[in-house]
Structure 1
Amino acid sequence: MKKLCTALLLALPSMSLLAAPAALPVEPKLAQQLAELGLKPTSVANSPVPGLLQVFTDRGLFFASADGQYLIQGEVFDLKNKVHINEEVMKPMRLAGVKKMAASAIEFKAKNEKFAVTVFTDTDCGYCRKLHSEMQDYLDAGITVRYLAYPRGGENSQTFSTLESIWCSKDKQGAMNKAKSGSEVSVAKCDTNVAAQYHMGQSFGISGTPALVLPDGSLIPGYQPAAALAAALTQLAKR
C-alpha cells in the first residue's frame, strides 16, 4: 500500500483545487469519541468528500461523519480531478510546520543547491542509515537535506536520548554522522525541541522513517535513491 500511495503521489499532478475550508467548532461528542481512541483534535473542517469532515489530530488527518459515528483513516483520491485529497489537505500544514522548525534542523547543504527536502529521521532506522550513507549522492544532485528528529520508539526510547545528544552537540553534523554509522554519540544535555519535532511528525501522520517532506509540502514515506528523488523534484518544479 505504501508503494502504491508513493507511486500515485508522484504520478498525479499537483492541483490546487481545494480551497481552504472554514474551521468548524469541534463538537463535544466527537472530541470525546476521539479522546477515547487517544486522539486529540486540533481543528475540524468540511472535507472535499460530501458528508465527511476532515479532522486534524495530534496523530494526523482523519475523516469523520458529521454525527461522529464513523471515523476513517486512509488515503482518499479524487479520481475525476486526479487529486490526492490527503496530500492537498496536508501540504500547507506540513509547509508551515517545517518552516517553524527550520532553524533547529540539522542541515547538510548542497554546494549547488537546486532543491531542499526535510527528512524526519531515526538514528537506528536501517533505511535512514542507508540514506545518510549516500548523502554525497544527494548533495551532488543539488539536494540539500534538512533533518528533523522522529524517534520511532517514542520519547522514552534510547533513540530519543541519542537524538537529543545529537541536537545538543557542538558539531551536530559530526554527531549525526557517528550515530548513522552505528557509533556511540557522546551524551549531551541541553534544551532541545526534539520532542516537538517528533510530535509534529506524528501530526503529519508519519509513522515510519525516513519520511521526506518536499518543497510543496508533499510527503514521501520511505527511502528514495538520490537519482529518483532528483527526478521527482525536477518533475515537481515543472508543475
Structure 2
Amino acid sequence: MGIQFKKYSLVLATLASFIITGSMVQAQTLAEQKVKNEIQKQLGDRAKVTGVKSTPIKDLYEIAIGGDIVYADASGRYLIQGELIDLKSGTNLTEQRSNEINRIKWSDLPLNDAIKIVRGNGARQMAVFADPNCGFCKRLEKSFQDLNNVTIYNFLVPMLSADSLTKSQQIWCASDRAKVWTDWMVGGVAPSGKTDCANPLDRNAALAKKLGVTGTPAMFFVDGSRVAGAVPLAQIEKKLK
C-alpha cells in the first residue's frame, strides 16, 4: 500500500510539474507576442520584427529586426541598442544570437558565381562578398596573402559606384580572374579589357540582399556563420578552424 501511494504521489508530482511548466511557457509566449505586437505597432512599415525572445534579464526582451538584434522593455515602448554580455561567463549574448539568426547554409551558395582563389591544399573554405573599390576589402585581401591551405570564393558585389560596376565587369571578363582580382586588390594594378561578357553580378546583388549583406566586406564560413568588416587575421583563422 505504501509503495503504491508513493508511486501515485510521484505521478501527481510529475503531472503538476508538467502543468506548471506548460503554464509558464504559455505565459512567456504570450508576453513575447505582446511585446512583438507593440514594437511592430510602434515601428509601422519602417521595419519588420522577425522575432522576439526573452533574455536572462527580467522584463528585457530580445528583438530581431531583419538580421539585427536590439532589446526592448516589457511595455514595448523603449528600444535599447547595444551588446548584452554575461560577465560571469564572458559570453557576448548579442553576438551569439546574431550568429544564430544570420546563419546560412553553405551548400546553398552558388560558388560558380564567385572568383575562386586557392592557396596551398585549399582544404579550408570561406566566401567573401566584396566591392573592388572598397578600401576595407583591399585591406582584407592583403591580409589573405598570409593565409594558407584555404579556398576563397570572392563574390563581386559592386555597391559603391558606377566604377565599381565597370571594374567588376572587367575582372569577371578577364581570362584569369583570380590574377586580375589580386593584382588590383593587392597590387593596385587596375583591370582593363572588355565589360560585355556574361556575368553573375545581378545574381550576386540579389544573393547579397537575400543574405542581408548591406556592406562590404562580408565573410561566410562553412559552418554558416558570418563576419563583417576587415577583422584581424587571427579572428579569421579561428573561424576557419
Residue 70 (structure 2) aligns with: 62
Alpha carbons of structure 1 residues 118 and 54: separation in structure 2 relative to 1, 3 Å? farther
| Superimposed CA distance per residue, residues 157-183 of structure 1 (whole angstroms, 9 cap, x where no aligned partner) | 426634873797586546644663443
Shift of 1:120: 3.0
Corresponding residue for residue 38 of structure 2: 29
Moved more, 175-184 or 191-200: 175-184
Whose helix proportion is higher, 1 or 2?
Answer: 2
Q: Which residue of 2 aligns with 1:198?
A: 208
Q: Distance in 2 between matches of 1:196 and 1:167?
A: 19
Q: For the residues of structure 2 that align with 1:73 and 1:135, how far apart are their CA atoms?
A: 32
Partner of 1:7: none
Distance 1:39 1:174, change over 3 A: farther
Q: C-alpha distance in 2, partners of 1:91/1:187?
A: 38
Q: Give the SS at the match of 2:75.
A: coil
Corresponding residue number in structure 2 for 1:165: 169
**Alignment partner of 1:232 is 2:241:** no
Q: Quick one: structure 1 residues 50 and 129, their matched pair in 2 at CA, closer, same or farther if it must change by over 3 Å?
A: same
Match of 2:135 in 1: 126
TM-score by length of 2: 0.62
Identity of aligned residues (%): 22
Name 1:14's counterpart in structure 2: none
Larger C-alpha radius of gyration, 1 or 2?
A: 2
RMSD: 3.9
Offset, 1:77: 1.2
Query: What is aligned with 1:41?
Result: 49
What's the counterpart of residue 151 of structure 2? 144
Q: Does residue 1:77 correspond to 2:85, yes or no? A: yes
Q: How many equivalent pairs are there?
A: 204
Letter in 1 for 2:162: Q
Partner of residue 51, structure 1: 59
3-state SS of 1:119 partner: strand
- Matches of 2:183 and 2:61, distance apart in 1: 45
Which position in structure 1 is the counterpart of 2:104?
96
**1:186 to partner: Cα distance:** 1.7
Q: Which residue of 1 aligns with 2:20?
A: none
Shift of 1:221: 3.0
Q: Which has the higher contact order (CA 8 A, sep 6+)?
A: 1
> Deviations for 1:166-211, whole angstroms, at most 9, x for unmatched residues?
797586546644663443572556663223333245x4xx665333
Retained in 1: the 8 A contact 2:132–2:164? no
The AA in structure 2 aligned to 1:127 is F
Are the equivalent residues in 1 in contact too, given 2:128–2:155 (CA < 8 A)?
A: yes
Q: Structure 2: where are the runs of 5+ without partners? A: 1-27
TM-score, normalised relative to structure 1: 0.63
